[in-house]
Every structure is written in C-alpha cells, then in structure tokens.
C-alpha cells in the first residue's frame, strides 16, 4: 500500500514539475522595426508545433524552458529565438533577403497590409532603418507616429484614465523613465518597436498606455 501511495505521489510530483517547466511566450514579428508581418511561421522546437502570426503580427506559444522558436517567411531572413524562463514577450524584427527576388516575395506574398506595403517600399528606397538623421530620440519617435508632450512619449491607441498617459519606455529590456531618452543618441539605436495593442499586457498596468521597446547597438555599450 505504501508503495502505491509513494508511486502516486511521485507521479503527481513529476506532472507538477513538467507543468512548471512550460510557460506561454507572447511575440510580435515586424519588419523595418514597426511594420507587423501577417501569416509568418513560428515553429516551436519543443512541441514541433507551427503557428502563424495574426493580422497585427502577434503570436502566443506554449514553450519549455530553454526551448527555441524559429521564425520564417518567404523573402525574409529566418531568425531563431532562444526561450528563457523569464521571457514573456519576444519582439522579432525580420530583415528582407538581399536581391530583387527576395524583396518581391517579402512585399508581394501577403505578409503586409496594403498600407504597410507602401511603407516598406518607401523604407527600401530610403534606407530608413538608419536613425542617424535624427538629432534626438523624441524626433525619431515622432517620425514613427508617437507624440511628445512635456517630455513624455504618448502613443496613439488605448490610453489610461488613471493620470499619466505616457507610454512605458524599455531600453535593452530595462524599464526606464522618459527622461532617460535625453541621454541616447539616435545613432546608438539598433531597433525600435512600438506596441499599442493587447501585447503590452505582459507589462501589467505599466503598459496600459503602450510600450516603446528600444534596442541599442552592442558596440555602444
């Protein structure tokens, strides 16, 4: 009888551990740092499951700790994302493949809305991922559709009715005050992602007014 009880206990314990080793990872797949990509394949190595991003470039996947995601779409360079137990939101910025054929797939294969296709074509012509033409971070963010009021970044979309309507600023995965932007030179910026929809919920109430995710170039650190 004792053996049966011990066996049952070990069974429940192993199930509990297995559950504890998985968690939901939310993600956004963009190109040119702000254009959402639709119908991109997200392959979860641990479960062998393939997901597709929605109309806003979003996905959610149940992942194991130390799992890997492979993000792939025709005309784009595939990316791998390593999952850690603390990762809640994965923001992936896919680069277009070089060459005319790769660009034709990327733009014409249905991954972007009609409006975003026009933006992508304009970005290809202007090389707009280079931010050094901006004198400060606030001008850069305004060029991406954000507003600036009294030194705070305001995003179009859902806003909070509980005082400040400022967006949450995250630089290299660290939450900072808006004033921190004064110390960043746009030439140091590798990528910027603006999140205004439900994906910002992973930051709790702090993300209610949207989130600005900034990645700096490693050579500047």
* pLDDT digits 0-9 by tens, 145-197: 888 988 899 986 444 455 678 999 999 889 999 999 999 999 898 888 888 77
* pLDDT digits 0-9 by tens, 23-80: 899 999 999 888 999 999 999 999 999 999 999 999 999 998 889 999 999 999 999 9
Q: What is the pTM of this model?
A: 0.55
Owning domain of residue 115: 19-129
C-alpha dihedral, 124 to 130 to 134 to 136, nearest 10°: 140
Specify whether 149 is located in the same domain as 221. Answer: yes
> How far is Cα 178 from Cα 165, in angstroms, rounded to an integer?
12
Establish if 83 belongs to a structural domain.
Answer: yes
Establish if 30 belongs to a structural domain.
Answer: yes
Helix (H) and strand (E) counts in the chain: 4, 14
């Amino acid at each position: 009888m004792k053996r049966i009880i011990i066996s049952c206990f070990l069974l429940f314990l192993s199930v509990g551990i297995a559950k504890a080793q998985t968690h939901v990872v939310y993600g956004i797949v963009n190109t040119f740092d702000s254009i959402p990509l639709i119908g991109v394949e997200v392959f979860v190595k641990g479960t062998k499951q393939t997901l597709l991003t929605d109309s806003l470039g979003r996905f959610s996947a149940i992942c194991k700790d130390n799992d890997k995601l492979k993000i792939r779409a025709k005309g784009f360079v595939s990316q791998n994302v390593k999952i850690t137990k603390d990762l809640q939101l994965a923001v992936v910025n896919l680069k277009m493949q070089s060459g005319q054929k790769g660009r034709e797939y990327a733009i014409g294969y249905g991954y972007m809305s009609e409006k975003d296709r026009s933006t992508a074509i304009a970005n290809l012509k202007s090389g707009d991922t280079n931010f050094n033409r901006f004198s400060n971070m606030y001008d850069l963010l305004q060029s991406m559709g954000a507003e600036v009021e009294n030194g705070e970044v305001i995003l179009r979309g859902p806003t909070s009715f509980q005082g400040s309507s400022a967006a949450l600023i995250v630089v290299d995965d660290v939450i900072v005050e808006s004033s921190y932007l004064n110390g960043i030179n746009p030439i140091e910026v590798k990528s910027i992602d603006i999140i205004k929809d439900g994906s910002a919920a992973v930051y709790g109430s702090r993300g209610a007014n949207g989130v600005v995710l900034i990645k700096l170039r490693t050579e500047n650190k």
